Structure 1
């Protein structure tokens, strides 16, 4: 569980420390493996700091350094809200859709909607599980404004999001019992294309 710095000064120091560690790794090894996931945590730290200029600079750096990185849901939540704060609503909405499929439970949790049990679907990793929502730092949840929650709720309840979510759940329910590699590949390819309709 991430322990957040208590003051803005300590928050900035943590960001600087993490950025330095990532840059040092790149300098020494010519690539960044980042086994501890600092690259993801930085999204949370920047959201709480709410420095849009530095956030945007970090987002751009991350995309250049990790173009094929699958990411993780809390990172994607913070990225979406960061883009919204930067007045980039189209990009923010797309990231929110990515978040919805990265973890079906996190958006409802942030919106205060009831979560009773996991869907009867194949969960590809622990990032997809219901109990992942408890990894959301309280500081990140508290940094989300009422207007941002309203925006999330409108997008999440929209026809496009509902349609994508419904089909995604259907696909991953089928993957529970689909063993044939060719059939699984077809389903997974369809699931990867769902965001094109958002």
Structure 2
């Protein structure tokens, strides 16, 4: 990428951030129908500005605290943290990526992946992972993928991810509202416990 291309992307980042700021000033909150808040992360990754990703994430978390995220965002944060040597955070967001979509890591590593008979929350379907994989490959690095290939074979990764899958398998066939509520609480607790690790 040339200096001119990098500057063009930086200009786009500034423009999109300014649009978000103006929106909040005008409406007292964000509408962001254009999805600028998400695309800015991708632009930082295009110019390999991992510090920019993390700095912007702090602003994002403060202003969009109720945003549920996506597997693509979690992967961006995992890669950026890994490349900055923030290993606790890299592990947290890697596991969070799996919570968002259990198939994505296998596809990233070019492994055979089969659908799991479990409750689907939306982002966590195999078809969704396949539709996302080319974009994910663009933002991952060889060093991250080499590390990922080892990390997904550890108990540190497998214990929470396998528990997440097991809970969603139970949730799929549970019709009792009270029991479903307890399973959903367990899943939420698992996700919060993971984020508390970083």
| TM-score, scaled relative to structure 2 | 0.86
Corresponding residue for residue 10 of structure 2: 12
Match of 1:21 among 7, 19, 22: 19
Q: Tell whether the 8 Å contact from 1:168 to 1:194 is kept in structure 2 after alignment.
A: yes
Deviation per CA, 1:112-162, whole angstroms, max 9, x where unpaired?
Answer: 11123x21111111x111122244374651342221101122222211221
Count of aligned residue pairs for this structure pair: 191
User: Which one of the candidate residues 164, 169, 176 is aligned to 1:180?
Assistant: 176
Tell whether the 8 Å contact from 1:109 to 1:115 is kept in structure 2 after alignment. Answer: yes
Map Cα deviations across residues 41-87 of structure 1 (whole Å, 9 max, x no partner). 22222122112332232111111111232111101100111111222
Kindly indicate whether the alpha-carbon contact (under 8 Å) linking 2:108 and 2:133 is maintained by their aligned counterparts in 1.
no
Q: Per-residue deviation at 1:192?
A: 1.9
Query: Aligned equivalents of 1:157 and 1:135: distance in 2?
Result: 25
Residue in 1 aligned with 2:147?
Answer: 151
Give unpaired runs (5+ residues) of structure 1.
1-5
Report what 1:95 is aligned to: 93
Corresponding residue for residue 55 of structure 2: 57
Q: Which residue of 2 aligns with 1:193?
A: 189
Kept after mapping to 2: 8 A contact 1:156/1:162:
yes
Q: Is contact 2:164-2:190 (8 Å) kept?
A: yes
Secondary structure (helix, strand or coil) at the match of 1:136 reads: helix
What TM-score comes out, normalization by structure 1 length? 0.86
Partner in structure 2 of residue 86 of structure 1? 84
Match of 2:162 in 1: 166
Deviation at 1:36? Answer: 3.7
Checking the alignment, whether the CA contact within 8 Å between 1:111 and 1:153 is kept in structure 2 is yes
Aligned alpha-carbon RMSD (Å) = 2.2
Unaligned 5+ segments in structure 2 are: none
Kept in 2: contact 1:171–1:191 (CA 8 A):
yes
In structure 2, distance between residues paired with 1:86 and 1:181: 44
Q: What is the CA–CA distance in structure 1 between the aligned matches of 2:132 and 2:189, rounded to whole Å?
A: 27
Gap change, CA 1:162 and 1:7, over 3 Å in 2: same
Partner of 1:3: none
1:142 equivalent in structure 2: 138
Confirm whether residue 119 of structure 1 aligns to residue 116 of structure 2. Answer: yes
